[in-house]
Structure 1
Amino acid sequence: MILIGQGKLTLKKFSEIIFNKQEVELDAAAIENVEENFKFLQSFSSNKLIYGINTGFGPMAQYKVSEENLLQLQYNLIRSHSSGSGALLSPVFTKALMVARLNSLIQGYSGVHPDIINLLKQLINNDISPCVFEHGGVGASGDLVQLAHLGLVLIGEGEVVYEGKLQPTTDVFAKLNIQPLSIKVREGLATINGTSAMTGIGMVNIANAEKLLGWSVMLSAITNEVVKAYDDHYSHELNIVKHHEGQNKVAATLRNILQGSKMIRSRTDHLYHPDNIDQEVFEDKVQEYYSLRCVTQILGPVLDTIANAEHVLVNEINSVNDNPVIDHHNGNVFHGGNFHGDYVSLEMDKLKIAITKLSMLSERQLNYILNDKLNQKFPPFVNLGVLGFNFGMQGVQFTATSTVAENQTLSFPMYVHSIPNNNDNQDIVSMGCNAALITSKVIDNAFTVLSIQLMSLLQAIDHLNCEAEMAPITRGIYNNVRDIFPKFIEDTPKYKDMERVKQYLQSTTALATEIV
C-alpha cells in the first residue's frame, strides 16, 4: 500500500503503483486539508469574479456565466474538450496519468471536493483505464484534451478498458458499484487544467530509461569482455580525473560487473611487456574503437540526464499544476500559469536525445561484433553455420540499423515547436505530452536494438566457447538469456526470439543495484 498525500511521491513509490500494482491509500490529514480548501472556495467565490468558476474558459473568459449555469459549465468543459485522436494510451500510461492527477489535487490548492480524489483512488486500485487518446494536448493550459477524457470517465461517461476489454464506463461503474463524480464547484477545470498526462508518462519514461541504461552498461561490459579489451579505459584512475558524476558511476559499475573476468586484459601485462617494444607493427590494437573504449564518456551523460529528469519530474508530480491556485491558508485565489508544461517538455526532449545516443552506441557495438574485418575474432555476423549458406545475425542487423535511424529522426525537440492556438490566448505552448509520448517510442526502440545486440553477443560467446572465463555477473546474464534464446546454427525466423529477449530486458533489472 502506497500512502498518497503524506510526503513526496518518489519515483520508487510511483513505480510500485504502476508496475507492481501496489494499491494507493489517502492520507487522512491531506483529505481534511482538501475539504477545507473546497469550503474556502465555495465561500470566497460567492461574490467575486474568478476564472473558471463564473466565467468562460480561455479567450471566452471575458464572458460571465450566470449563477444557474455554473455547474453545467464544468460539464460542458469536460465534454467539449474530449476531442482526442490517434491510438489509446496504454493502461500503464493512463494509470500513471491518474496517479499524477491524484497527487496534484491532494495538495489542497485546487478547490475540489474530496469526492474526486476518492474516485481517482477507486479507478487506480481497480485497474480501470479511461480511454485517453495520444493526440490532442499542446501542454500549455495543461494536457487539456487528454485530461478531458479522464474527466469524461469521472462523470460516468465515455469508455474504459477493464479486464482487458473496452467497455462503456456506465457498465463498469455499475458492476463495481462506483458512483460517478457529481461536480460541486470547479472539478471540471481542476481535472483538465494540469500537466498530469505528460508528467505521468514522463515518470514511466524515466523508470524505463533507468532500466535501459543498466542494460546498456551490462552489454557494453560483455562486449568489452568477449573482444578481450584492456581494463584501463574504465579504471578508477583514468575516470576520476574527469569530474563528472555520471561517468564515474558508469566506470565503477563496469568494474563491478567485470570483476573476476579472465578475458579482460591488463595493459601492463600485455602492451607494456618489454617484448613488445621491438615490434614494428603491433598485432594487438593499441587502443580499442571508441564504442568500446569511450563507454564511460558516452553513457555518463546519459546517466546524468536521466538523474536530472527524475529530479524535475518528481518535483512536477508533487506540484500544484492547475490554475487558478486556491490558497485557503492565505485567503486568496491566485491566477497564473502553473499548468504550463515546459519543465516536463524540456526534460523529455533531453531524455530522448540521450536515449537515442545510447541506442547509437549499442548499434556501433553490434556492428563491431558482426563485422569480422573490424573484430578479427568472429565469423561474419557471428554465423555459427556454413558461411555463404547460413546467415547468422545478418538479417536482424537491418532491424537494429533501421530502428536507430528512426530514433535519430524522432530526437528533434518538441520543446521548440510551439504553435499558437486558442485564439492566440495560448500563444506559446510546451507540447509536453507530445514530447513525453515520442520519448516513450524512442525508449521502446532502444530496447529493440539492445535485444538484438544481446542475441549477437550470446552467439559470439558460443563461438569462443568462453563461458567459463567470463565474470560471474556476465556469465549469469548469458545463462539466463540462453534459457529463452537458445544457441542456433541453422537459419530460423528471429522475430519471436527478438520479442522474447526484448520483454526480458524490459521486465528485468540488469544490475543488483541501480546506478542512477
Structure 2
Amino acid sequence: MPLLLNNSLLELNDFISIINNDHDFEISEERCEKLKESYNFLFDFSKDKIIYGINTGLGPMAQYKIQKDEQVQLQLNLIRSHAVGAGNPLDDATLKAAMLARLNSFLQGKSGVHYSCIELLSQMIKKNILPFIPEHGGVGASGDLVQLAHLGLNLIGEGKVKYQGEWCSTEEVFKKEELQTIQIKLREGLAIINGTSVMTGMGINNLQEAKNLFNWSLSLSCIMNEIVESFDDHFSDELNFAKRHKGQREVARQMQAILGNSKRILKREEHFFTDQNLDQDIFSKKVQEYYSLRCVPQILGPVFDTINNCAHVLEDELNSANDNPIVSLSEENVLHGGNFHGDYISLEMDKLKMVTTRMSMLSERQLNFLFNNKINKILPPFINLGKLGLNLGMQAMQFTATSTTAECQTISNPMYVHSIPNNNDNQDIVSMGTNSAILCQRVLNNTRQVLAIQIIAVCQAIDYLKIESKLSPFTQKLYSMARDIVPVFIEDTPKYEEMAAIEKLIKECEIKLPTFVESEMSLTV
C-alpha cells in the first residue's frame, strides 16, 4: 500500500522509507483539493493587492512594481538567475531528500503554488530523476535559494538531471518519461527556491547516519570494557540514576543489556570489597579505568540526547511551510515574514556535528589505549601480533585516526554564528544552515573512518587475548561480522582496502542495540 500524504505529520521513518525506495506514496484527494483551493485563493486575492514576489521585485528590489504582462517572466528570471551553485553535486540521497522535503512543504497548503508543481515533483521523486544541485551557494536565509534554483531549473525543463546513474539534459529525460514541465502562473519560481528543503533533507540523512554511528560507538565502548575486564558499577542504575539526564541513563541501560551475559565484566564487590586486597600496597588490578572506558554513559549520554532533540526539530521543519509569503485560507490573507530562515536547522546541524566529533574523539582515545602497552598493560604495542621491532602492527593506522579526528575538531566550529550580511544588506543576518549540514556530513564520514579502524583494533585485541568465547552474545556477533571482512593478521600488509570495507559495513549495517526499556528516545532502526 502506498503511503498516503495528507495534512498529517510525515514522520522521519516514513520520509526515509520513501528516500530509500522502500515505500511508494500518493497524495490524498482531500489534500489535492486543499492545494488547488490555496492557489485559487491567491490568484484572486493578488488581483488588486501588492503581494511580494508576484507583482513586486525581489529582495532589495521589492520596491519596484512588476506589471501583469511581466509577472511570468519574473519567475523564470528568478530561477535562471539564481542557478549559480558551485562545487561538486550533492549526493543522490540528499538530492532526493531535498525534493521530498520541498514537496512536503508545499503539501501544507500555504504556498499557493499551481498544482503542476506538486505533480512534477512527485513524478521526479518516484522515477528517481534527480536534480543537479551543486553543494555551494546558499547562505540559508531566504532558504536554500541557489541550490533550490537548480531544482527550479529542472521543473521548467532546463538544466540537467541524473537519470539511471547518468547526467542528462532535463528536456531529453522529460521527453522520454513523458513528463510535463510546470506552469508558471503566480509565484511558482519564488515558492520553489524560497525554502529550507535542501538543508532539511540533508539534515534528515545526517541524522540517520548519526544514529547509526552512535550505535556502533556504544557497541565498541562495550567491547573495550570487555577487553580490560572492567567493573560493572560505572554503568549501573544506582550510579547513573543519581544524575537526572535521560541520555546518560539510557546509555547505561543499553550497556547493561549488551554486557549482561559477558564473562569479561567483573563485580567490584568480589575484588575490592573483600579482605584479600587489604594488605596490598599496590593493587594489581586497576581500581578505576581511564575516562574513555569508565565515563561512557556521561560522554555518550549528551550525544544521545542531542540526536533525539535534532530528530524533533527536523521533523517539525519537514512538516512546516517554510517559504514567504504564506497563504492563510482560514484568515483569507497573505502574510509576509521569514519562515524561510534556516536557523533551526543550522543550529541542530552544528550540534550534531559536534557530538559526532565527540564520538570520533572517544574512539581515538580508546584506540590510543589499545595501542599503548604502557597504559593498557595487557597488549603488545600497536596490537602487533608479529615480531616486535620487525613488524609494526597497527602503528600507522593510528596516524589516520588521529589526523581524521583532528579534521573533525576543526570543521566542527559552528556555522550558526558565522553570519555574513549580503544581498545589499537585505539579508543582514543569515543562518548558513546548508553549509552547516554539508560540514556535518563530512564529520559523519570522517567519524565512520575512525570507527572502522577501531573495529579492526578491537578484533586484533580479542584474538591476542583469546577471549572471543567470553564476550557477550551481542559483541561476539559484531566481532564475527568484522572478522568475515578482515581476518586476523600478523604480517605487515597494506590495509586501506580492508579499512574501506569495514567503513562500508558500518554504513550499511544499521545495528540494533538491545535495551532493557522501551523508550521514546530509542535509537534502534
Aligned counterpart, 1:515: 522
Aligned counterpart, 2:494: 493
How much has 1:179 moved relative to structure 2?
A: 1.2
- Give 1:370's aligned amino acid: F
- Give 1:130's aligned amino acid: P
After superposition, where does 1:172-321 map in structure 2 within 5 Å? 172-321=173-322
In the alignment, the residues of structure 2 paired with residue 174 and residue 388 of structure 1 have an alpha-carbon distance, to the nearest angstrom, of 66
In the alignment, the residues of structure 2 paired with residue 186 and residue 20 of structure 1 have an alpha-carbon distance, to the nearest angstrom, of 31
How much has 1:219 moved relative to structure 2?
A: 0.4
After superposition, where does 1:466-505 map in structure 2 within 5 Å? 466-505=467-506
Preserved contact between residue 11 and residue 207 of structure 1 (Cα < 8 Å)? no
Please say if 1:104 is aligned against 2:111.
Answer: no
How much has 1:162 moved relative to structure 2?
A: 1.4
Aligned counterpart, 1:351: 352
Preserved contact between residue 214 and residue 515 of structure 1 (Cα < 8 Å)? no
| SS at structure 2 position matched to 1:268 | helix
Aligned counterpart, 1:385: 386
Gapped runs of 5+ residues in structure 1?
none
TM-score by length of 1: 0.98
Please say if 1:168 is aligned against 2:169.
Answer: yes
In the alignment, the residues of structure 2 paired with residue 272 and residue 174 of structure 1 have an alpha-carbon distance, to the nearest angstrom, of 79
In the alignment, the residues of structure 2 paired with residue 15 and residue 481 of structure 1 have an alpha-carbon distance, to the nearest angstrom, of 27
Q: 1:368 to 1:165 in 2, by over 3 A?
A: same
In the alignment, the residues of structure 2 paired with residue 490 and residue 367 of structure 1 have an alpha-carbon distance, to the nearest angstrom, of 21
Q: What do residues 153-172 of structure 1 show as CA deviations (whole Å, max 9, x unaligned)?
A: 11111111111111111111
Q: What do residues 414-471 of structure 1 show as CA deviations (whole Å, max 9, x unaligned)?
A: 0000000001000000000001110111111111111110110001011111111110
Please say if 1:403 is aligned against 2:404.
Answer: yes
Preserved contact between residue 24 and residue 124 of structure 1 (Cα < 8 Å)? no
In the alignment, the residues of structure 2 paired with residue 235 and residue 20 of structure 1 have an alpha-carbon distance, to the nearest angstrom, of 41
How much has 1:4 moved relative to structure 2?
A: 2.2
Aligned counterpart, 1:331: 332
Preserved contact between residue 59 and residue 423 of structure 2 (Cα < 8 Å)? yes
How much has 1:512 moved relative to structure 2?
A: 4.5
In the alignment, the residues of structure 2 paired with residue 343 and residue 321 of structure 1 have an alpha-carbon distance, to the nearest angstrom, of 12
Q: 1:20 to 1:209 in 2, by over 3 A?
A: farther
Aligned counterpart, 1:66: 67
Preserved contact between residue 130 and residue 161 of structure 2 (Cα < 8 Å)? yes
After superposing on structure 2, the runs of 4+ consecutive aligned residues of structure 1 that deviate more than 6 Å are none
In the alignment, the residues of structure 2 paired with residue 15 and residue 496 of structure 1 have an alpha-carbon distance, to the nearest angstrom, of 29
Q: What do residues 189-231 of structure 1 show as CA deviations (whole Å, max 9, x unaligned)?
A: 0000011111111111111111111111000000111111111
Aligned counterpart, 2:32: 31
Preserved contact between residue 212 and residue 447 of structure 1 (Cα < 8 Å)? yes
| SS at structure 2 position matched to 1:222 | helix
How much has 1:507 moved relative to structure 2?
A: 1.1
Preserved contact between residue 355 and residue 446 of structure 1 (Cα < 8 Å)? yes
In the alignment, the residues of structure 1 paired with residue 48 and residue 142 of structure 2 have an alpha-carbon distance, to the nearest angstrom, of 26
Preserved contact between residue 352 and residue 442 of structure 1 (Cα < 8 Å)? yes
How much has 1:82 moved relative to structure 2?
A: 0.2
In the alignment, the residues of structure 2 paired with residue 509 and residue 218 of structure 1 have an alpha-carbon distance, to the nearest angstrom, of 12
| SS at structure 2 position matched to 1:339 | coil
How much has 1:291 moved relative to structure 2?
A: 0.2
Q: What do residues 395-415 of structure 1 show as CA deviations (whole Å, max 9, x unaligned)?
A: 111110000000000011000
Query: Which moves more between the two structures, 386-395 or 98-107?
Result: 386-395
- Give 1:433's aligned amino acid: T
| SS at structure 2 position matched to 1:257 | helix
| SS at structure 2 position matched to 1:109 | coil
Preserved contact between residue 324 and residue 336 of structure 1 (Cα < 8 Å)? yes
Preserved contact between residue 404 and residue 445 of structure 1 (Cα < 8 Å)? yes
Aligned counterpart, 2:57: 56
- Give 2:471's aligned amino acid: M
Preserved contact between residue 250 and residue 515 of structure 1 (Cα < 8 Å)? no
Query: Which moves more between the two structures, 481-490 or 414-423?
Result: 481-490
| SS at structure 1 position matched to 2:269 | coil
Aligned counterpart, 2:12: 11
In the alignment, the residues of structure 1 paired with residue 25 and residue 491 of structure 2 have an alpha-carbon distance, to the nearest angstrom, of 50
Q: What do residues 312-345 of structure 1 show as CA deviations (whole Å, max 9, x unaligned)?
A: 1110010000000011221100000000011111
Query: Which moves more between the two structures, 375-384 or 265-274?
Result: 265-274
Please say if 1:433 is aligned against 2:434.
Answer: yes
Preserved contact between residue 309 and residue 347 of structure 1 (Cα < 8 Å)? yes
Aligned counterpart, 2:518: none
In the alignment, the residues of structure 2 paired with residue 423 and residue 21 of structure 1 have an alpha-carbon distance, to the nearest angstrom, of 45
- Give 2:235's aligned amino acid: Y
- Give 2:305's aligned amino acid: D
RMSD: 1.1
How much has 1:20 moved relative to structure 2?
A: 4.5
- Give 1:453's aligned amino acid: Q
TM-score by length of 2: 0.97
| SS at structure 2 position matched to 1:255 | helix
After superposition, where does 1:447-458 map in structure 2 within 5 Å? 447-458=448-459
In the alignment, the residues of structure 2 paired with residue 442 and residue 432 of structure 1 have an alpha-carbon distance, to the nearest angstrom, of 15
| SS at structure 1 position matched to 2:334 | strand
Aligned length: 516
Aligned counterpart, 2:517: none
How much has 1:6 moved relative to structure 2?
A: 3.9
- Give 1:510's aligned amino acid: I
In the alignment, the residues of structure 2 paired with residue 20 and residue 366 of structure 1 have an alpha-carbon distance, to the nearest angstrom, of 37
- Give 1:297's aligned amino acid: Q
In the alignment, the residues of structure 2 paired with residue 21 and residue 134 of structure 1 have an alpha-carbon distance, to the nearest angstrom, of 26
- Give 1:43's aligned amino acid: D
Q: What do residues 361-390 of structure 1 show as CA deviations (whole Å, max 9, x unaligned)?
A: 010011101111110111111111111111
| SS at structure 2 position matched to 1:77 | helix
